[in-house]
Amino acid sequence: MPPEFSLLSQLDDQLASLADQQLHRQLREVQTPTAPSLMVDGEALIAFCSNDYLGLAADPRVIEALREGALRYGAGSGASHLISGHSAAHAQLEIQLAAMQASHLINPRALFFSTGYMANLAVLTALAGKEADIFSEALNHASLIDGARLSRARVTIYTRDDLSALDRLLAGSAATTKLVVTDSVFSMEGAIAPLPELLALCERHQAWLVVDDAHGFGVLGEQGAGVLQHFGLRSSQLVYIGTLGKAAGVAGAFVAAHATVIEWLVQRARTYIYTTASPPAIAHALLTSLAIISGAEGAMRRQSLRNHIQQLRDALQLQRWRLLPSETPIQPVLIGPNQPTLQAGESLRAQGLWVAAIRPPTVPKESARLRITLSAAHTAAQITQLAGAINAMERVCV
């Protein structure tokens, strides 16, 4: 056999083994704008799996701003930020983003990134080197895990339900640079990290607190500024990451922190320096999206979202499956083994309801779950339908 075929057959074997374990995943083609009602591979579905929490992704004003941004700045940025790709739209967006976090940081500045994945790699690799200690929550997002590895720092895992252990770990660290790194809203659980307690530990032990607020920005806090506003925190040791492709409905991410931290990222963050700046039109569209989030309409949308969350939690009547405690739009129903979880997902789809069936390795073994995400754009009737379908399914599932 020619060697290239043996290379391919190795991959074929590994793909077959994924299929055997029911871990093989499939792409689905969405043919309509991002919204609860979708056409997917020719099938009409109501989606409970997007992160478009406020329903802004297909908002006509945001779309119009994207068009206007393209007309004003062109389709692409043409270069990286430090060469000639940093447009007036990027600069303006960074000022707005810093203003949103102004009550929570000292001397705040924000830096825009193309994606949250890249922002997380940037923060961890620029702030932590070989001599640093990173303390990382067990349920952190893959991009934080990868950033910690890439930094070459020593990484220690902690869990949020044992903060006295984290206290001892921090006390025992002789590193001059210490980082505590956490998701604000755990993406497969919906629970919010105990940030006030974590910040107190970080201040006591002179550590940075790096907060990934991918699922909180736009959703939490009175003006939608996110988890720092939710808890009313303020510190120069906070390094805040918000993403802009979820509740903000567009794309990209940002880091907000003390201006000195941001200046260091501009000089050192490889995922900022060695990549083409994202299209200025994206930044321009985000200005419109941020104005909606921070204004009265944003507050109304967050209220609808909270109503939907309460409605779903009241309507689900589960005996064996378990609705995890969560006050955020992420509402997981824990089933356990892979097979019934997949079956539940398929059965919902047959009823026109699209809910992600999440399996290991995304979640720990034997903790497969339906991960429901809610949006302000859902209707009460859609939520009633979903809860009814899940209640009925649990009763017949063995």
User: Closest separation between CB of residue 270 and ligand PLP, Å?
Assistant: 16
User: Closest separation between CB of residue 355 and ligand PLP, Å?
Assistant: 17
Q: Which C-beta is closer to ligand PLP: that of 173 or that of 182?
A: 182
Q: Which C-beta is closer to ligand PLP: that of 183 or that of 394?
A: 183
* E-assigned strand segments in 262-347: 322-323, 330-336
Q: How are beta strands 208-212 and 238-243 bridged, if at all?
A: parallel
In SS3 terms, 228-241 reads as HHHHCCCCCCEEEE
Q: Quick check: 301 and 375 in contact, CB under 8 A?
A: no
Q: How many CB atoms lie under 10 A from the CB of residue 139?
A: 18
Site for ligand PLP in 173-212 (CB under 6 A): 183, 187, 212
Q: Applying CB under 6 A, which of residues 55, 85, 108, 116 lies at the interface with ligand PLP?
A: 116
Question: What SS3 state is found at 372?
Answer: strand
| C-alpha separations of 246 from 34, 71, 257, 300 in Å | 11, 25, 21, 18
Q: Applying CB under 6 A, which of residues 143, 229, 271, 278 lies at the interface with ligand PLP?
A: 143
Q: Which C-beta is closer to ligand PLP: that of 229 or that of 243?
A: 243
Q: Applying CB under 6 A, which of residues 245, 279, 280, 345 lies at the interface with ligand PLP?
A: 245
Q: Applying CB under 6 A, which of residues 117, 158, 208, 254 lies at the interface with ligand PLP?
A: 117
Residue 160 as a binder of ligand PLP (CB under 6 A): the answer is no
For the window 205-244, what string marks contact with ligand PLP as x by the rule CB under 6 A? Answer: -------x-xx---------------------------x-
User: Closest separation between CB of residue 27 and ligand PLP, Å?
Assistant: 17
- Rounded Cα distance between 364 and 366, Å, is 6
- Rounded Cα distance between 306 and 100, Å, is 21
- Rounded Cα distance between 221 and 184, Å, is 13
Residues of this chain that interact with ligand PLP (CB under 6 A) are 115-117, 120, 141, 143, 183, 187, 212, 214-215, 243, 245, 253
